[in-house]
Structure 1
Amino acid sequence: MTALDERPAQADSATTTVSVAEYLGARLLQAGVGHLFGVPGDFNLDLLDGLATVEGLAWVGSPNELGAGYAADAYARTRGLGVVVTTYGVGELSVLNAVAGAAAEDVPLLHVVGSPRRAAVEAGALVHHTLADGDFGHFSRAAAEVTVVAETLTLERAAEQIDTVVLAAMTERKPTYLAVPQDLALARVDAGPLEHPLTAASDPAALARFETRLAELLADAQRPVLVVGQLVPRFGLAVQLADLAARAGVAVVTQLSARGVLDADHPCSAGDSAGTMLPNGSADVVAAADVVVQVGTLLTAELTGFGSHRRPDADTPYLAATTAGFGADPGGRVLFPDALAALDRALQGRRGPRWATAPAGPAPRVEEAGPLTQAQTWQALAELLPSGTALLADTGTAYWGAAGMPLPADTVFGGQPVWSSIGYALPAVLGQGLADRTRRPVLVIGDGAAQMTVQELSTIAAAGLAPVVLLLDNRGYTIERALQSPRAGYNDVAAWDWCALVPALTGGRGLATAVSTAAGLRTALTDAFAAPDRLTLVQAHLDADDTPPLIDALARLATAAKG
């Protein structure tokens, strides 16, 4: 893909202008975006026609806007920016849940909306896709609640506004919103700014202050620990973190939202962290530390074992997307990559002992006789999952089962532990697969979650992706059964014929098989992993009340938290 700072895209050599759509496309290419996800609608058709002229941008249409938003979210987690394009009103409200999820999960997602013509807005016209009240601001105001920047484009400031939303999403790792009026999509703007890539900078004085105090804290630390959160993978800094830890010999625990950023066999890995909810000793490592550094963390209930973690104090260093400080200090403007580099330098000066992970003993074997169980399922997947995949786990038994499963080396792990919207991970396969074709997506999802977004299998197949899908069929929402009212009818879902549905949705390009024993599951997974070019769904029949251990721990802590 050619960078636009090297080749001004679609520029008119006589006037050095481009259309608004071309300017937007150029900035997206510079940011590493090669795919646009979305659904067409009459208010965005001029915009889509303009974007179609930008070489290097591919359109990926989805059956609905929500699936497109989830796909763009997963794409952004790998590429550093994802884009979803919808029409005004009906389209943008359909994707709002995905945008809110991106806000909660620190995902740089740009939502581009084709909006009505300026004349219609100025006249308060009663046109379709509105509330027929003459107020065209309802939906941009809603978007402002879940984005860090929300702009409605004007001709006078079009280039500036596009630059603002793109740069803000990439810098803050949060969603942004850009409404493009229908009559401005093909208007001409100055192409000159495209010669200069978008950049953001830290405040040098704030960075120096943070590094100085951090170095003082760490100089004599005997047992420092880094608690690593989702901003490390969001900024694509997993390799830098691993190198930093190895050079400094400092213990690292990873929140579930950052699972996989450090391989389990890394000498400094002290395991995943979720307070005392995880029985792996990571909570004890953090409790015994003399300095705990919060590296891009988010301290929500589920990520901290419902508050069973060690709480930060006034001296606790933290690294956030655009600030770095200590305790409740708001800190100065320090961008996350710069703060991580400062942490690296500060750690090199410490004089304490090096951390070394104790060798892990062999995992206890699970008896494989009888009907298929959750324990057998996760044991089989852990043993058969190839390295180098992208393992995506949907909210519910799928996520909490996968969270307790050892990962092979070089595994990208994805899910939504903060927003926890069921159905997210199936469209996420599309975004992850297109963002990085070197990794085969492997999806684990419950039947209830899959029913939310299953139509995206058609787009996945059309895109030439061949994931392995492990469908946990327990006839409903087992995580909700574990939390409350296990016999309630509202936790049941209708039975689907998955083995017939998969070929139908994929045009015959997908294969499905059903299993109900551990031996059957192992055979099906072995066959699926051995066929890298075939989309395969394995329907695993499980008891409705069977849960992975972390669901039981989650339920106990959630019940206790209610008092």
Structure 2
Amino acid sequence: MPHPDTQPQSSNMGIATYLFGRLKQLGVKHVFGQPGDFNMGIIDVIEDEEGIEWIGCCNEMNAGYAADGYARVNKMGVLVTTFGVGELSAMNAIAGSFSEMIPVVHIVGTPSTEFQSQGAMLHHTLGNGDYKTYYKMYENITVAQTVLTHHNAKDEIDRVLKECYIRSRPVYISIPADICVKETFADLTQPLDFTIPENVHEVEYAAINKVVHHIHRSANVIVLIDACASRHNVVKEILDFIEKTGFPFFTSPMGKGIISEDHPLFGGIYIGSVSEPHVKNEVEKADLIISVGAIRSDFNTGGFTYHVSPAKTIELSNNYIKVFFATYGGVSMKHALPKITACLESMPGPQISPPYQHKILEDDVKDERITQNWFWHEVSSKILRKNDIVVGEMGTSIFGLMDIKFPSGVAFIGQILYGSIGYSVGACLGASLAATNFKEKRRVCLFVGDGSFQVTAQEMSTIIRHDLKPVIFFINNNGFTIERMLHGMDRKYNDISQWKFDKTLEYFGGSDKVCRTIKLSTKSEFESFASSQLPEIPSQILFVEVMMDKYDAPRALVGTACNTAEKHMKEKVLPKLHEELHRKTVAGEKY
């Protein structure tokens, strides 16, 4: 449950002051956005408000990515934009948060009520006098929307914030310029009620009985944890369940790191046919699968290749329990899971195979070029540390991270479902600021490729300006390798212009005192860096450029991309891809 950061208040106060007072009670200490003439009154309130800091970003889309990354670490993020041009720029980021179920509050400063009532032809409008157009656009990518007035502000703020928190999705708050400073009687002494309604007893009772019955009659039960276990705050409940029952648990890519991967019952990452053989075997041979918070998107399932039958799967969701083919609607796993656990006896779990460890190919060891297979093994064994926050970009980074085991307490941020290129740089900014809210220092590690980086690189200036110190592993593989794996291996549209990436931090204003750049082209250079030059808690921004070949890709990416492409193209892709890569190798091209 959120806790107040300030002393509660009950008095007349400005409407925007009340809004940010509530947000502070929800743990928000940083607000992202960009100024515009219709939101500057709101930003004035933020800058004057104690305990909350304005973080001006380079554009609204990046600010939305930052708010998303912040929310994944801090439980809620906030974005402030101006009307029209600002909110439309942020729309892609908010759509991503909606898709991935991230609680972001989008506050939009709009023209005054007088101008709106007149239908005035102001800048940032469509020139048609309709001030509801952009609001209507947001109805499909937010779970609650409101336009604040002098009379409804308190109730509407409370309503919308509760929807954001409970449903774990973005909301939209429009504040006209003349409304934000108007005073209203507001009571911050009464905390918001985030209690989830109890399940209907008869339906919940029937569902729990069925679940317990099938668990008792099954000899080999495994638990498959996905992203919604975290989004809907049932991590403690599922951990209690697996520790009491002793059932081994596996996660999807989107569920990676939700429960510590050094837990003795952790079996690995299940990605359908792309899974490591022992993981695929353990999951698919189970008599009963308890699926928690499933999101069955293409990249989360190895290209729709989950080979688990509904006839042996029990699904626990935020608003239903499904036992094989029977659905019990309106039953929340938040309330049902502890009752299921209470009905079960403590029991030792079955033995599971040890988590997969990368096998380095002999040729990889002999060859001084840094390959994907070798690199991710090194990341797992020598780079990542306990309680790191790991941000991965959609591409080689996300898929490389899928195959490695995280140390205890590592949190993982990646946009696997929505997959907007460049998301990770803004998310790194947000996660780095959220990390400052913890008493114990946590290191943020970003893994991003050159193509994605070019989309949002300017946000490095914001990271530098706020004295944040992430470790950035920049994979320079000369273009969009994930797209090459999908289609167009040598098409020009998958190439990019080669910037002088080693000058990135310098260009964006970083001095040698606060920034450090390293370029690694060989295995020997990387090993030297990993063994002696990587601090526990960085005192500088560390930008590590790692040179790789454009035709090289992690195992999980090749398999998933081929499965996905085959679904679209209706023909076998994997043999063709291997043949193409082999041809390039024989021809003497790098691979």
Tell me the TM-score range normalised by the shorter chain.
over 0.9
Matching of residue 253 in structure 1 with residue 253 in structure 2: no
What's the CA shift for 1:94? 0.8
Using a 3 Å threshold, how does the CA distance of structure 1 residues 551 and 196 change in structure 2: closer, same or farther?
closer
Matching of residue 520 in structure 1 with residue 517 in structure 2: no
Deviations 1:411-433 (A, max 9, x none): 11211110011111111111112
What's the CA shift for 1:49? 1.8
Using a 3 Å threshold, how does the CA distance of structure 1 residues 462 and 356 change in structure 2: closer, same or farther?
farther
What's the CA shift for 1:368? 4.9
User: What is the 5 A alignment of 1:405-484?
Assistant: 405-437=404-436, 438-484=441-487
Aligned with residue 537 of structure 1, among 543, 552, 568:
543
What's the CA shift for 1:356? 3.0
What's the CA shift for 1:196? 3.1
Map of 1:203 onto structure 2: 198
Matching of residue 511 in structure 1 with residue 516 in structure 2: yes
Could you say what secondary structure the match of 1:302 adopts? Answer: coil
Matching of residue 402 in structure 1 with residue 401 in structure 2: yes
In structure 1, distance between residues paired with 2:194 and 2:561: 45
Bigger shift: 265-274 or 72-81? 265-274
Aligned with residue 552 of structure 1, among 554, 558, 562:
558
Using a 3 Å threshold, how does the CA distance of structure 1 residues 5 and 433 change in structure 2: closer, same or farther?
closer
Aligned with residue 372 of structure 1, among 361, 364, 370:
370
Q: Which amino acid aligns with 2:245?
A: A
In structure 1, distance between residues paired with 2:410 and 2:367: 29
Map of 1:64 onto structure 2: 59
What's the CA shift for 1:486? 0.9
C-alpha contact 2:388 2:444 (8 A) present in aligned 1: yes
Deviations 1:505-551 (A, max 9, x none): 14212211212111112233441335611111111111111111112
Could you say what secondary structure the match of 1:42 adopts? Answer: coil
Q: Which amino acid aligns with 1:7?
A: Q
C-alpha contact 2:199 2:335 (8 A) present in aligned 1: no
Using a 3 Å threshold, how does the CA distance of structure 1 residues 464 and 513 change in structure 2: closer, same or farther?
same
Could you say what secondary structure the match of 1:190 adopts? Answer: strand
In structure 2, distance between residues paired with 1:128 and 1:322: 43
Using a 3 Å threshold, how does the CA distance of structure 1 residues 362 and 211 change in structure 2: closer, same or farther?
closer
Map of 1:17 onto structure 2: 12
C-alpha contact 2:428 2:444 (8 A) present in aligned 1: yes
C-alpha contact 1:38 1:61 (8 A) present in aligned 2: yes
In structure 1, distance between residues paired with 2:428 and 2:226: 22
C-alpha contact 1:109 1:175 (8 A) present in aligned 2: yes
C-alpha contact 1:442 1:469 (8 A) present in aligned 2: yes
Using a 3 Å threshold, how does the CA distance of structure 1 residues 194 and 231 change in structure 2: closer, same or farther?
farther
What's the CA shift for 1:552? 1.4
Q: Flag structure 2 segments of 5+ consecutive residues without an equivalent.
A: 571-591
Map of 1:317 onto structure 2: 314
- Identity among equivalent pairs (%): 28
In structure 2, distance between residues paired with 1:327 and 1:506: 58
Deviations 1:27-51 (A, max 9, x none): 1122111111111111111122223
> Which runs of at least 4 in structure 1 moved beyond 6 Å after TM superposition?
none
In structure 2, distance between residues paired with 1:89 and 1:200: 35
Deviations 1:94-141 (A, max 9, x none): 111111111111111111111111111111110011111111111111
Matching of residue 31 in structure 1 with residue 31 in structure 2: no
Q: Which amino acid aligns with 1:560?
A: E
Q: Which amino acid aligns with 2:485?
A: A
TM-score by length of structure 2 reads 0.88
What's the CA shift for 1:156? 2.2
In structure 2, distance between residues paired with 1:132 and 1:32: 39
C-alpha contact 1:468 1:529 (8 A) present in aligned 2: no
Aligned length: 555
Using a 3 Å threshold, how does the CA distance of structure 1 residues 370 and 464 change in structure 2: closer, same or farther?
same
C-alpha contact 2:244 2:345 (8 A) present in aligned 1: no
In structure 1, distance between residues paired with 2:6 and 2:82: 32
In structure 1, distance between residues paired with 2:150 and 2:231: 33
Aligned with residue 303 of structure 1, among 300, 303, 311:
300
Could you say what secondary structure the match of 1:84 adopts? Answer: strand
Map of 2:575 onto structure 1: none
In structure 1, distance between residues paired with 2:468 and 2:275: 34
Using a 3 Å threshold, how does the CA distance of structure 1 residues 333 and 22 change in structure 2: closer, same or farther?
farther
In structure 1, distance between residues paired with 2:48 and 2:319: 35
TM-score by length of structure 1 reads 0.93
Using a 3 Å threshold, how does the CA distance of structure 1 residues 46 and 389 change in structure 2: closer, same or farther?
same
Could you say what secondary structure the match of 2:155 adopts? Answer: helix
What's the CA shift for 1:296? 1.1
What's the CA shift for 1:267? 2.1
What's the CA shift for 1:313? 2.9
Using a 3 Å threshold, how does the CA distance of structure 1 residues 253 and 121 change in structure 2: closer, same or farther?
same
Could you say what secondary structure the match of 2:38 adopts? Answer: helix
In structure 1, distance between residues paired with 2:308 and 2:101: 21
In structure 2, distance between residues paired with 1:25 and 1:513: 41
In structure 2, distance between residues paired with 1:534 and 1:276: 41
In structure 2, distance between residues paired with 1:361 and 1:550: 13
Q: Which amino acid aligns with 1:510?
A: C
User: What is the 5 A alignment of 1:147-166?
Assistant: 147-166=142-161
Could you say what secondary structure the match of 2:32 adopts? Answer: strand
What's the CA shift for 1:212? 3.5
Could you say what secondary structure the match of 1:183 adopts? Answer: coil
Could you say what secondary structure the match of 1:455 adopts? Answer: helix
Bigger shift: 254-263 or 189-198? 189-198
C-alpha contact 2:414 2:424 (8 A) present in aligned 1: yes
User: What is the 5 A alignment of 1:55-204?
Assistant: 55-192=50-187, 194-204=189-199
C-alpha contact 2:368 2:524 (8 A) present in aligned 1: no
Q: Which amino acid aligns with 2:487?
A: Q
Could you say what secondary structure the match of 1:529 adopts? Answer: coil
C-alpha contact 2:276 2:356 (8 A) present in aligned 1: no
In structure 2, distance between residues paired with 1:474 and 1:561: 27
RMSD, matched Cα: 2.3
What's the CA shift for 1:7? 2.7
C-alpha contact 1:77 1:233 (8 A) present in aligned 2: no
C-alpha contact 1:229 1:298 (8 A) present in aligned 2: yes
Could you say what secondary structure the match of 1:471 adopts? Answer: strand
Map of 1:499 onto structure 2: 502
Using a 3 Å threshold, how does the CA distance of structure 1 residues 236 and 201 change in structure 2: closer, same or farther?
closer
In structure 2, distance between residues paired with 1:239 and 1:518: 41
Using a 3 Å threshold, how does the CA distance of structure 1 residues 182 and 312 change in structure 2: closer, same or farther?
farther
C-alpha contact 1:4 1:194 (8 A) present in aligned 2: no
C-alpha contact 1:368 1:518 (8 A) present in aligned 2: no
